[in-house]
Structure 1
Amino acid sequence: MASRPSLPLALPASFTVAQAAEAGVAPGRLRGRSLARPFHGVRARSASASTTMIDLCRAYAPRLREGQFFSHETALLLHGAPMPDWPYVPRIHVSAHRPSREPRTVGVVGHRLQTRVPVVRDVDGMPVEDPARAWRQCRTLWTHGDLVAAADFLVSGARPPITVAELRDEVVRMGDVRRGILSRALDDVRGGVRSARETRLRLLLRDAGLPEPHTAWNLYDERGTFVAELDLAYPQRRVGVEYDGRVHAADPGQFARDADRWDAVRAHGVDLVRILSHHLAGDGAAAVQKVRAALMRAGWTPLA
């Protein structure tokens, strides 16, 4: 059996049928099983191409027309923000400002936005909505906790892509919905948060009637020497709370360093509570109980 002709090197990993035709590829070559068809009119070089959301965005990118860009939760995903927990499944959203037209194809949610000057960022060669605008666009898609977790991410880190003030300005300019869900979410945003699970834990503790903990609290010894940064802490009670997602469990070296840090924190008079993923299962009652017990050991008394 004759082998199929190779595709031109000028074609990217994912390309449109029109691009292939311009490159001289015969229509029959595009019908072969060796090519994936992630979207109508799109082909990918590998028939077993990955189907992660980011890979799907890369596959769809060649189909974007002038004025179209990834938006809503897709934009937040491409900016690195956390998505809602399973079983929620994020979708690919593509928008365009009037008078440009949104896409209408299977597998993509199209949006035609009101006339507005676009603020599109380049992410890995793809046009992506500004993070503040994308966050506001998720107001009808996500819960309060999911919105807070995404905003916590966006305003944290050494070089955060956006500020709380910019998020609030976007809400003031474009409006809020659902009983002010965005404004209420912004009131709960805190900087220095490393993961969505930390956000969930912080909100869980507060909603259970415990004091709200500080985020990214630095512990120093009596000489002012830095000891450790704690995910969450109650400095006046000398109680620290760490969420341990067990991401380093397979790395003995990292696990040993973490264990030494935990010992150092406790040696400096902090009652360190480690919360694992199973403590947050269900309604998170196990996590609340562990932190409540530590606070009560430190002299805190629940309000009647």
Structure 2
Amino acid sequence: MTRARLRAADLESPFHGIRSRDRARPTTLVEQCLVYAPRLRPWQFFSHETALALHGVSTPEWPYVPRIHVSAHRPAREPRTSGVVGHRLQTRAPAVRSATHGLPVEDPVRAWRQCGRLWPLDDLVAAADSLVGGKAPTASVEDLRSEIREMGDVRGGILRAAADLAHPGVRSPRETRLRLLLARNGLPAPDVNADIFDERGNFVAEIDLAYPRWKVAVEYDGRVHAEDERQFARDADRWAEIRAAGWDHVRVLNHHLRGDGARAVSLARDALVRAGWRPGLAAR
């Protein structure tokens, strides 16, 4: 290609050294990584929050936008170009995996530790919950702790604190935030994804956050309206079955978590008080 062709108006330059015929600018993180990928040297890979996002692990909520991080292990060189955060990591055996569209991506446990310098505590806990949760967990809490022991903690021990707060079974960042909110405001620690049954022993439902002693079920519902009428009808029947089994069902909606989340805490506390709980009982 001649220099004149590379400067032609029909080509976009999303990154230095990259030319594309696609006039639409890449918007999603995957699109941005795919556009940048031809610039990767054989020893370079996507890392930090970019790697977690490509692995499908939760990242901080909007308006936070994960940046593109590309790393290399010493003595190899990291990239230095506009629009990309380059990192030269300690000499270490690589643990790069192939993620979305075959992109070279850092091991998710290592990437989680790398985010210790970037994210606040609750976002690190949410990512840890995402790693250790689900039907096929990516890692265990012990894997996170092992990585911290091997490579060290940062920012006054924020990673150890996040690993201690991680809990298998949590399915979304909002559930993580709700769980942490309840604990920090003096409420008992709930069971996560607990099954409840009726008096005959028949399965009724799996509850996000449950207090079996007081029969209080707390769940986060992120819908602002019923997009799927059939699903909403099934959920409404489920809520009725939970109540019929003798449980007080608390639905926490998005607006309840705004700000300091005081409204969500109040809903859960009121339900527990109605069931006989009093402050000071949490530890017993």
Which TM bucket (shorter chain)? over 0.9
CA 1:48 to 1:299, structure 2 compared with 1: closer, same or farther past 3 Å? same
Shift of 1:69: 0.4
Distance 2:145 2:224 in 1: 33
Residue 263 (structure 1) aligned with residue 235 (structure 2): no
Q: Kindly indicate whether residue 173 of structure 2 is the aligned counterpart of residue 189 of structure 1.
A: no
* Residue 218 (structure 1) aligned to one of 184, 195, 204: 195
Q: Distance in 1 between matches of 2:10 and 2:270?
A: 59
1:14 maps to what in 2?
Answer: none
Percent identity over the alignment is 63
Unaligned runs of 5+ in 1: 1-20
Structure 2 gaps of 5+ residues are: none
CA, structure 1 residues 254+28, in 2 after alignment: closer, same or farther (shift >3 Å)?
farther
Matches of residues 1-304 of structure 1 in structure 2 within 5 Å?
Answer: 21=1, 27-124=3-100, 125-246=102-223, 249-303=226-280
RMSD of aligned C-alpha atoms? 1.6
Conserved 8 A contact 1:244-1:274: yes
Please give the secondary structure, in 1, of the residue aligned with 2:41. coil
3-state SS, counterpart of residue 252 of structure 2: strand
Letter aligned with residue 180 of structure 2: L
Hey, what's the Cα distance between the residues in 2 that align with 1:277 and 1:30? 48
Bigger Rg, which one: 1
Residue 242 of structure 2: SS of its match in structure 1?
helix
- Tell me the CA shift for residue 168 of structure 1: 0.9
**Aligned residue in 2 for 1:15:** none
TM-score, length basis structure 2: 0.94
Structure 1 residues 252 and 44: CA distance shift in structure 2, 3 A: farther
- Alignment partners' CA distance in 2, 1:276 and 1:102: 43
Distance 2:186 2:82 in 1: 46
Deviation at 1:227, TM superposition (A): 1.5
Aligned mates of 2:110, 2:225 — CA distance in 1: 34
1:144-167 CA distance string (max 9 Å, x none)? 100000000011111111111111
SS at match of 2:199: coil
Q: Would you say the 8 A contact 1:33–1:47 is kept in 2?
A: no
Q: C-alpha deviations, 1:8-46, integer Å up to 9, x for none?
A: xxxxxxxxxxxxx5xxxx554443444332211112332
The C-alpha deviation readout for 1:104-160, integer Å capped at 9, x for no partner, is 000000000111000011002100000110000011111110000000001111111
- 2:201 and 2:10 mapped to 1: Cα distance? 63
The question of whether the paired residues in 2 share the 8 Å contact of 1:248 and 1:255 is answered with no
SS in structure 1 opposite 2:213? Answer: helix
Between 216-225 and 114-123, report the one with greater CA deviation: 216-225
Kindly provide the amino acid, as one letter, of the partner of residue 267 in structure 1: A
The structure with higher relative contact order (CA 8 Å, sep 6+) is 2
Deviation (angstroms), 1:217 = 1.0
**C-alpha distance in 1 between matches for 2:225 and 2:82:** 39
Report the CA distance shift for 1:29/1:219 in structure 2 as closer, same or farther (over 3 A).
farther
TM-score normalized with structure 1 length = 0.88
Contact 2:26–2:35 (CA<8 Å) still a contact in 1?
no
Secondary structure, counterpart of 1:201 in structure 2:
helix
SS of the aligned residue for 1:215 comes to strand
Q: Contact 1:244/1:275 (CA < 8 Å) preserved in 2? A: yes
**1: distance between equivalents of 2:155 and 2:118?**
11
The farther-off stretch of 229-238 and 47-56 is: 47-56
Inter-partner Cα distance in structure 2 for 1:37 and 1:240: 53
Per-residue deviation at 1:303? 3.0
